[in-house]
Amino acid sequence: MGSSSIRDVAALAQVSVSTVSNVLNHPERVSPTTMRRVQDAAAKVGFVRSDAARQLGSGASACIGLVLPDPGMPYYAELARGAELEAARSGFSLLVGAAHHDLEREGLYLDFFHSQRVRGIVMSATENPRRLEELRRRGISAVLIDTAGPASPFSSVSIDDVAGGQLAVEHLLDEGKRRIAFLGGLLSSAPVAARLRGAMQAVAACPGAELQVISTSGLTVLAGRCAGEEIASRPACERPDGVFCADDLLGIGVLQGLCELAEVAVPGEVAVVGFDDIPLAQSTVIPLSSVRRPGEMIGRMSVELLLAEVEDGARIVPRHISCLPRIVVRSSTVARSV
């Protein structure tokens, strides 16, 4: 770190300390002439600040921001890994923030990333797109993940959740199941709601099939276990014979509730499908069939798309990449041959 201070830069450039601070953190507030004068002064006095050295020279850092709604979910851990690998391949560092589905926390991370002059931000759908539009006007690009997007002004990378839900339930129907239950935690979540729409479409196309939505406290193993216990406690004629869980953790919990606690036969009495195909899905006592959502690939593609936008700042037409899901069939839906 250089021995010169921000005051030395301000004195040589004949500007206030607050003006130098604006060059570092809010360059949109400074005229190009003043920006150049401050940059020249910083170079002459050898001023270097660890988190802003490159910002004085170029107005932006070699960092990308990633905001995740729930980094504890295996899918988002995979996505973060893919984003980090692609960022590193291109010479960028990744700053990760956990919003935990909280708009205020999300806003705090966006403010932090702005203060660090990141080159761009990757994040899930936000209920406050004006904040991203404001950042874009200040030179910070954004790409949304898990957002089906033709109507969005921002580029996006997502999986077709409607197709995924339809695929899961069609598989259950193909196995002869007709009383389908959907477990999805918070239906206010856009991906969960889309998967439910796909499930409804599949059931509507199958004469004699019916769909029941079972509320859960969240997308966790414990929530699934509680739901599995409740299903197992019903008379056999009132149970669903096929269960589609909007996430693998729910599915794993349902298997626990059905088999470990109540000894309901899976898949004979109740078949179970999850979503995401996390590594644990194939390692449970009864391996879980699941709709594959390639988190690492989506992370890589989102950063690749973001950096393409950074390089081509003049491009104003957003791109939307939708990945098609596929189902991975295991013993929770198809009985193992003896």
pLDDT tens for residues 244-285? Answer: 999 999 999 999 999 876 779 999 999 999 999 998 999 998
- What is the structure's pLDDT at 230? 94
Identify how many contiguous H helices and E strands the chain contains and give both numbers. Answer: 12, 12
Q: For residue 321, is it left (φ>0), alpha (ψ between -120 and 50) or beta?
A: beta
Reply yes or no on whether the pLDDT at 22 is more than 80: no
- Quick one: pLDDT band at residue 54, thresholds 50, 70, 90? very low
pLDDT tops 60 at residue 338: no
Q: Residue 84 — φ and ψ, nearest 5°?
A: -65, -40
> Residue 49 pLDDT > 70, yes or no?
no
Q: Which residue has the higher pLDDT, 315 or 322?
A: 322
CA–CA separation, 159 and 220 (whole Å): 21
Mean pLDDT of 35-44: 82
CA distance 194 to 87: 29
Q: What letter would DSSP give residue 237?
A: G
Dihedral of CA 57/59/61/62: which sign?
negative
Q: Kindly report the number of other CB atoms within 10 A of residue 118's CB atom.
A: 24
CB 223 within 8 A of CB 191: no
Cβ(247)–Cβ(273) under 8 Å?
no
Residue 117, pLDDT above cutoff 80: yes
pLDDT at 316: 64
Per the model's pLDDT, the better-predicted residue between 99 and 66 turns out to be 66
pLDDT band, residue 325 (cuts 50/70/90): very high
The 8 Å CB, 24+ separation contacts for 22-28 are 23/56, 24/49, 24/52, 24/55, 24/56, 24/117, 25/52, 25/55, 25/115, 25/117, 27/55, 27/59, 27/117, 27/139, 28/137, 28/138, 28/139
